[in-house]
């Protein structure tokens, strides 16, 4: 995250104090003026370095972060906000990558076992001082159930970045995306990066199919609808397995016909991103291959035309 050198924090915290040191010396002790300039530069440089965002993630070591806020979305979904050590700190998570959360959880045989799961924050490095996780808890879940029981002030163990996908502006002409349930989080991370990058020349187009069971299950719909309203290059197509009577979107599971209708055709400058329950992703890989996309690997690589998170 970069700020303009004319940002208020630099003017107030560096330029004005440095200017006062030089001006005061020029008035009171003009013979020490060159020393004052050197001191002002040195102090300004120290202050500048201290105000720069520090990346806190470590790929090979778990660190603890404290839960600061818990926003309940539904009976089993919440957004958890964790604080970073300093207000200017950032996770240092490249767009498209995720973090690992680890916890020692009791097992049926009475022992304790470390369980690790991957999550993609719904916040980004443009938001210093914290990171947000959207998590749906399941009765049989390990980490998700553990997270649901957290109270403000408790900590989680995190390491990263992890993952083979890193987004760079204009890496493709057009993304086709298919997400199921909480699989929306990496898609939202990429979409937000594209929208933020428009002023700098990012022209990437996005068509996203977002599949859920019921209308109430659609996570972050307000955010997605706001993005499509703001940016005509982003389009979201909702699909429900159990839709209400007045539903205007897709119905059932995501099919080849839906992919043909809503997503870009296979091409060298097109990439298909998938994230959702494993059976869904496995089925979609086969469906996409039948439509002409290049065969997906069991474990996706960045250069693959079909990439599964």
Q: What are the angstrom distances between the C-alpha of 56 and each of 229, 234, 242? A: 34, 31, 42
Is 144 annotated to bind ligand?
yes
Is 159 annotated to bind ligand?
no
Is 88 annotated to bind ligand?
no
Give the sign of the dihedral formed by CA 116, CA 117, CA 118, CA 124.
Answer: negative
Is 204 annotated to bind ligand?
no
- Whether 99 and 158 have beta carbons less than 8 Å apart is answered as yes
Active-site residue, 174 included: no
- Whether 74 and 66 have beta carbons less than 8 Å apart is answered as no
- Whether 80 and 67 have beta carbons less than 8 Å apart is answered as yes
Active-site residue, 260 included: no
Residue ranges with strand state E in the chain:
63-74, 77-83, 98-106, 112-119, 130-136, 155-162, 174-180, 205-212, 234-240, 250-251, 270-275, 306-308
Of these residues, 80, 119, 167, 238, which one is catalytic? 119
Active-site residue, 255 included: no
Nearest CA to 144 out of 111, 112, 119, 113 is that of 119
User: CA 66 to CA 50: how far, in whole Å?
Assistant: 23
User: CA 254 to CA 287: how far, in whole Å?
Assistant: 10
Phi, psi of 285 (to 5 degrees): -60, -45
Of these residues, 25, 130, 146, 275, which one is catalytic? 275
Of these residues, 80, 98, 182, 238, which one is catalytic? 98
- Whether 150 and 68 have beta carbons less than 8 Å apart is answered as no
Of these residues, 25, 120, 182, 204, which one is catalytic? 120
Is 93 annotated to bind ligand?
no
Is 47 annotated to bind ligand?
no
Is 282 annotated to bind ligand?
no
Active-site residue, 10 included: no
Give every strand in the sheet of 130-136, ordered side by side: 112-119, 98-106, 155-162, 63-74, 77-83, 130-136
Binding-site residues: 117, 119, 134, 136, 143-144, 185
Binding-site residues for FAD: 117, 119, 134, 136, 143-144, 185
Active-site residue numbers?
Answer: 98, 119-120, 275
């Amino acid at each position: 995250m970069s700020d303009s050198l004319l940002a208020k924090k630099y003017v107030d915290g560096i330029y004005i104090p440095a200017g006062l040191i030089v001006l005061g010396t020029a008035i009171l002790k003009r013979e020490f003026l060159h020393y004052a300039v050197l001191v002002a530069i040195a102090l300004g440089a120290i202050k500048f370095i201290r105000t720069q965002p520090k990346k806190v993630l470590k790929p090979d070591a778990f660190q603890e972060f404290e839960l600061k806020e818990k926003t309940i979305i539904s009976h089993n979904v919440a957004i958890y906000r964790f604080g970073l050590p300093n207000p200017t700190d950032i996770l240092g998570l490249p767009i498209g990558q995720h973090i690992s959360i680890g916890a020692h959880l009791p097992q049926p045989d009475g022992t304790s076992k470390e369980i690790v799961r991957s999550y993609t924050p719904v916040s980004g490095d443009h938001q210093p001082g914290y990171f947000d996780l959207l998590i749906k808890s399941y009765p049989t879940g390990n980490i998700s159930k553990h997270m649901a029981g957290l109270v403000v002030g408790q900590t989680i163990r995190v390491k990263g970045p992890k993952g083979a996908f890193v987004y760079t502006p204009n890496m493709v002409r057009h993304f086709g995306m298919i997400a199921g349930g909480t699989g929306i989080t990496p898609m939202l991370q990429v979409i937000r990066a594209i929208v933020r990058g428009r002023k700098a020349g990012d022209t990437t187009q996005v068509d996203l199919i977002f599949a859920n069971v019921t209308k109430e299950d659609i996570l972050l719909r307000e955010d997605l609808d706001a993005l499509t309203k703001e940016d005509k290059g982003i389009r979201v197509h909702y699909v429900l397995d159990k839709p209400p009577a007045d539903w205007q979107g897709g119905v059932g599971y995501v099919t080849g016909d839906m992919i043909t209708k809503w997503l870009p055709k296979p091409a060298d400058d097109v990439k298909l991103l998938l994230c959702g329950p494993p059976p869904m992703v496995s089925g979609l890989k086969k469906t996409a291959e039948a439509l002409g996309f290049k065969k997906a690997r069991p474990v996706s690589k960045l250069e693959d035309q079909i990439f599964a998170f």
